[in-house]
Amino acid sequence: MKRSSTIYLDHASGTNLLPDVKDRISDWLDSGMTNPSSIHQDGRRSAATLDEARTSIAEILGCNSSEILFTSGATEANNLAILGTAEALRNKGLHIITCATEHPSVLESYKALEKNGFQVTYLNVDKNGDVDPEEFRASITDDTILASFMWVNNETGLMHPVEELAQIAQKRGIRFHCDAVQAFGHIPIQMQNSEIDSLALSGHKLGAPAGIGVLYLRKGQAISRTSFGGSQEQNVRAGTQNHMGGVALATAIKYHAGHLDVNAKKYDELSIHIEKQLKVLPGIQINRFGKQYTPNILSCSFRHIDGEALFIRLDMQNIAVSNGAACSSGSQAPSHVLTALGLDENLAQASLRISMGIETTRHEIDDFCRELKQIVTSIYREAK
Ligand SMILES: Cc1ncc(COP(=O)(O)O)c(C=O)c1O
């Protein structure tokens, strides 16, 4: 029988608006805010609230408000940091480094630069999915200008040693960008004592709407524009700001900064609870091989199962999980992250990313595990 309510375990793709954010948006809808670049009173009022949002984010990240640029999301923030930095430093060198398991918004930026005369080193990950700092150090040449590594992998939840990687980059005088989309809210992120030069965040992973993101860009770092028009966002990112989005994102960031410990405890408990139930399922492999994972994301794969059939049956039961990165949904290509980990194509295709949010309960996890067990068991039985 079909469930009437959805079991939603796809929070790493996008999570519900936080109650504080809903309140803030509803105030905003009533406030008559206008274009923050307009110089009349309404415009100035909008500019002031956007600046408040910027200052609030900067205080939490431990940086200056002029170092916070609003963007349309993390894709744009990653694109801008990578393309803008490479272009600005082109006369210093043409070699840039990243890792094979980055998000497509990073990998595709590197591919675009490759077509534009840059030489790219795509570091492979070890059997745990991690980047080896020594390999990174060894890959840097006198021609290297930029490296980009994500803090937490969006498909597996693996935490990379980005602070160590950023220190290596800093010692060799190369710029370091970090996609921290899946890290914020799980790892304390402070820019003042960090060697990270730029960092991307996304609204809809944090309980703000989609269509808003932040690029932290360390003061004084050269960057070329990738959009042309007005002088908004420190003259780096042209276009009328998403005022409502900025206010909503600042609210979400404040919430997560204030609930880091309590949420970590909750996610740790849920993570232990789900892993305990999943690991006894037939044919399962839990894709946690490395040292540290954010507890909200769990990737698992099923041996000798048709991944599409599994996903369709879960969907028919109103169970929302991801079969790889949501950003590449629609494509049935096996996940580049899982294949980089050494999974063969079939196993990678028969994988689920289960991701929890602040609303997830033990009860929901229990329902999910029960349904998944039934589906997997029946697929194996039918295949006999
Ligand atoms: C690690 C990572 N980076 C970047 C993005 C892109 O973010 P946005 O949807 O805000 O463009 C995502 C979204 O899935 C992500 O998980």
pLDDT in tens, 245-260: 999 999 999 999 999 9
Distance 157 CA to ligand 1 centre (A): 13
Three-state SS annotation for 147-207 = EEEECECCCCCEECCHHHHHHHHHHCCCEEEEECCCCECCECCCCCCCCCCEEEEEHHHCC
326 CA closest ligand 1 atom index? 14
Residue with tokens 């990379």: 160
pLDDT of residue 325: 42
pLDDT of residue 31: 85
The separation between CA 232 and the C-alpha centre of its own chain, rounded to angstroms, equals 25
- Mutation pick for ligand 1 pocket among 80, 102, 103 (CB with most ligand atoms within 8 Å): 103
- Mutation pick for ligand 1 pocket among 10, 69, 105 (CB with most ligand atoms within 8 Å): 105
pLDDT tens profile 68-110: 999 999 999 999 999 999 999 999 999 999 999 999 999 999 9
pLDDT of residue 4: 63
77 CA closest ligand 1 atom index? 11
Distance CA 33, CA 242 (A): 11
Distance 302 CA to ligand 1 centre (A): 26
Among 1, 5, 13, 3, CA closest to 204: 13
Question: Would you state the structure tokens that stand for residue 32, as one six-digit string?
Answer: 């008559």
The bridge status of strand 284-286 relative to strand 297-302 is antiparallel
pLDDT of residue 384: 78
- The answer to whether 194 and 176 have CB atoms below 8 angstroms apart is no
Given its phi and psi angles, is residue 73 left (phi above 0), alpha (psi -120 to 50 degrees) or beta? left
Show Cβ contacts of residue 235 under 8 Å, excluding neighbours closer than 6 positions. Answer: 225
pLDDT of residue 333: 84
pLDDT of residue 34: 87
Distance CA 56, CA 167 (A): 27
Is 63 a residue of the active site?
no
Question: Would you state the structure tokens that stand for residue 297, as one six-digit string?
Answer: 């994301």
Distance CA 202, CA 196 (A): 17
Sketch out the chain's domains with CATH numbers: 7-17+260-383 (3.90.1150.10), 19-258 (3.40.640.10)
- Mutation pick for ligand 1 pocket among 110, 199, 327 (CB with most ligand atoms within 8 Å): 327
pLDDT tens profile 173-189: 999 999 999 999 999 99
Show Cβ contacts of residue 202 under 8 Å, excluding neighbours closer than 6 positions. Answer: 73, 74, 77, 181, 212, 213
Task: For residue 221, count CB atoms less than 10 angstroms from its CB and return exposed for 0-12, middle for 13-18, buried for 19 or more.
Answer: middle
Distance 2 CA to ligand 1 centre (A): 31
The separation between CA 100 and the C-alpha centre of its own chain, rounded to angstroms, equals 15
- The answer to whether 300 and 351 have CB atoms below 8 angstroms apart is yes
CA gyration radius, the chain: 21
153 CA closest ligand 1 atom index? 1
Distance 14 CA to ligand 1 centre (A): 9
Question: Would you state the structure tokens that stand for residue 264, as one six-digit string?
Answer: 């970590």
pLDDT of residue 326: 40
Q: Residue 231's CB: how many other CB atoms inside 10 A? A: 11
Distance CA 17, CA 206 (A): 8
Phi, psi of 226 (to 5 degrees): -120, -5
Distance 276 CA to ligand 1 centre (A): 29
Residue with tokens 């809903």: 22
327 CA closest ligand 1 atom index? 14
Q: Cβ < 6 Å from ligand 1: which residues?
A: 73-75, 103, 105, 150, 154, 179, 181-182, 202, 213, 326-327
Q: For the chain, which residues score pLDDT lower than 50?
A: 1, 325-329
pLDDT of residue 375: 97
Residue with tokens 């670049």: 37
- Mutation pick for ligand 1 pocket among 10, 75, 177 (CB with most ligand atoms within 8 Å): 75
pLDDT of residue 327: 46
Which residues on adjacent β-strands are paired with residue 284? 302
Which residues on adjacent β-strands are paired with residue 112? none
Question: Would you state the structure tokens that stand for residue 42, as one six-digit string?
Answer: 């309404």
Distance 325 CA to ligand 1 centre (A): 10
Phi, psi of 294 (to 5 degrees): -75, 135
Distance CA 179, CA 337 (A): 15
Burial 172-204 (b: 16+ CB within 10 A, else e): eebbbbbbbbbbbbbbebebeebbbbbbbbbbb
Distance 181 CA to ligand 1 centre (A): 6
> ∠ CA 366-371-375 to the nearest 5 degrees?
150
Catalytic residue among 63, 99, 178, 327: 327
| CA dihedral (223, 228, 230, 232) positive or negative | negative
